[in-house]
């Protein structure tokens, strides 16, 4: 087979080629069952085994402790922006740290359900650095503190989780880790709830992963839909409503692929390698043509936004990239420019090809 293009989409995003081959091969008949995965009752033995394996593999990969439940839900991060406060706020205080578009949306949506307050922000200067936890105006009465640990659009990432206990807070830490889940370990001693839309670093859109400490279950507001009450979802092993079965299957194949590669530690090693290669070029040799203004200590390993210094060349840049098999590099409309998302499924060779093109374009006569 000839080389596939490299796909830098921010999400839905590239999947490991092995996973796609396996999914295609099993499309009409999963393991001799006579059924494709999409055709299976979610209550049947076959799909139950798929869902259980996906959960167990994710638990192993992220070393999720036994007192956390793993839920497979629907609606993505934007739905969780409502579902989290409906389940955790009890209508009381919830604190928000603003680090970019996603955390802004979370804080705004939570106002429907609770006393949501922004207690720190990196908005001044344009979301280029991360607010230091030592300066967060944590409220003693807050039920939880929400942070987006990797901002897909703005390209900033927490390199360590805040330790709320050490900061004197009893609030649960809620992390939206949609766009870097499985690219680094998670210190669960600091976390109450983690959620992630699967369509970025796992693959299929339409699956939302929620990992929640058991003591946070059972406090949903009366207006919380049954299908989005974490306790109901947990009590029914994510099968209260019909789950997005095929997406869970694909996520499970991705989890197995990550395990075969060496797990999250190996994903992190590769993420560092890929990010250093790309940022290194942009900051060094490519600095005359390209710019990334984000504080180097806060840069995302997954989502690398950058601008051409001469933005009139944007269309030419994208056309040349596409001609060389480098796809979906256009930046988010809210920030413009370019963005290379280099998730787990992006091989080092893809980033090498991108850097080669960046160099070629920078050196081309105008």
134 three-class SS: helix
Q: Is 132 labelled a binding residue?
A: no
- Cα separation, 185 vs 79, whole angstroms: 25
Q: Judged by CB, which is closer to a second copy: 14, or 212?
A: 14
Q: Is 188 a catalytic residue?
A: no
Q: Judged by CB, which is closer to a second copy: 76, or 162?
A: 76
Q: Is 232 labelled a binding residue?
A: no
Residues recorded for the chain: 366
| Number of residues near a second copy (by CB under 8 A) | 67
Q: How far is the CB of 4 from a second copy (least distance, A)?
A: 6
Only one of the segments 59-67, 71-79, 269-277, 353-361 lies at the binding site for a second copy (rule: CB under 8 A); that segment is 71-79
| 235 belongs to the binding site for a second copy (CB under 8 A) | no
| 121 belongs to the binding site for a second copy (CB under 8 A) | no
**Is it true that the peptide bond before 12 is cis, omega within 30 degrees of 0?**
yes
Q: Is 176 a catalytic residue?
A: yes
Long-range pairs for 274-281 at CB < 8 Å and ≥24 separation? Answer: 274/301, 274/342, 274/346, 274/348, 274/351, 275/299, 275/300, 275/301, 275/304, 275/342, 277/348, 277/351, 277/352, 277/355, 278/304, 278/340, 278/342, 278/351, 278/354, 278/355, 279/304, 281/355, 281/358, 281/359
Helices 245-261 & 45-62 angle (0-180, nearest 10): 40
Q: Point out the catalytic residue in the list 30, 102, 136, 257.
A: 102
**CA nearest to 48, candidates 61, 30, 74:** 30
In the chain, the N- to C-terminal Cα span, in Å, equals: 35
- Cα separation, 206 vs 211, whole angstroms: 16
Interactions with a second copy, residue window 142-201 (CB under 8 A): 197, 199
Q: Binding mask 14-53 vs a second copy (x if CB under 8 A, - otherwise)?
A: xx-x--xx-xxx-xxx----xxx-xxxxx-x--x------
| 112 belongs to the binding site for a second copy (CB under 8 A) | yes
Q: Is 102 a catalytic residue?
A: yes
Annotated binding-site members: 43, 102, 152, 176, 199, 241-242
Chain positions contacting a second copy, by CB under 8 A: 4-5, 7, 9-15, 17, 20-21, 23-25, 27-29, 34-36, 38-42, 44, 47, 74-79, 81-83, 86, 109, 112-113, 197, 199, 203-207, 222-223, 225-228, 240-247, 250, 325, 327-328
- Residues with a known catalytic role: 102, 176, 200
Annotated binding-site members for L-glutamate: 43
């Amino acid at each position: 087979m000839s080389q596939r293009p490299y796909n830098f989409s921010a999400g839905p995003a590239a999947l490991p080629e092995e996973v796609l081959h396996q999914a295609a091969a099993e499309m009409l008949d999963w393991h001799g069952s006579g059924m494709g995965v999409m055709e299976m009752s979610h209550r049947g033995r076959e799909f139950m085994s798929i869902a259980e394996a996906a959960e167990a593999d994710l638990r192993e990969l992220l070393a999720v402790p036994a007192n956390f439940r793993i839920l497979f839900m629907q609606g993505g991060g934007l739905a969780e922006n409502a579902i989290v406060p409906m389940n955790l706020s009890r209508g009381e205080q919830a604190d928000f740290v603003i680090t970019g578009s996603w955390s802004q949306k979370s804080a705004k949506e939570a106002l429907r359900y609770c006393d949501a307050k922004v207690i720190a922000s990196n908005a001044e200067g344009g979301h280029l650095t991360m607010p230091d936890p030592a300066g967060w105006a944590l409220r003693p009465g807050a039920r939880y503190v929400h942070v987006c640990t990797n901002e897909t659009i703005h390209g900033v990432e927490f390199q360590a989780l805040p330790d709320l206990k050490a900061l004197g807070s009893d609030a649960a830490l809620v992390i939206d880790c949609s766009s870097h889940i499985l690219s680094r370990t998670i210190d669960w001693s600091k976390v109450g709830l983690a959620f992630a839309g699967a369509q970025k670093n796992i693959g299929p859109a339409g699956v939302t992963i929620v990992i929640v400490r058991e003591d946070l279950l059972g406090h949903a507001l009366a207006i919380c839909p049954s299908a989005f009450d974490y306790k109901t979802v947990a009590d029914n092993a994510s099968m209260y409503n019909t789950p997005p079965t095929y997406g869970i299957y694909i996520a499970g194949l991705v989890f197995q692929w990550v395990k075969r590669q060496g797990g999250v530690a190996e994903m992190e090693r590769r993420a560092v390698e890929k990010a250093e290669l790309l940022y290194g070029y942009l900051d060094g040799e490519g600095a005359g043509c390209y710019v990334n203004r984000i504080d180097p200590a806060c840069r995302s390993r997954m989502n690398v936004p950058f601008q051409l210094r001469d933005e009139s060349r944007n269309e030419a840049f994208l056309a040349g990239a596409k001609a060389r098999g480098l796809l979906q590099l256009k930046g988010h409309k809210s920030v413009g420019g370019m963005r290379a998302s280099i998730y787990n499924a992006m091989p080092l060779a893809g980033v090498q090809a991108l850097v080669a093109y960046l160099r070629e374009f920078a050196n081309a006569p105008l």
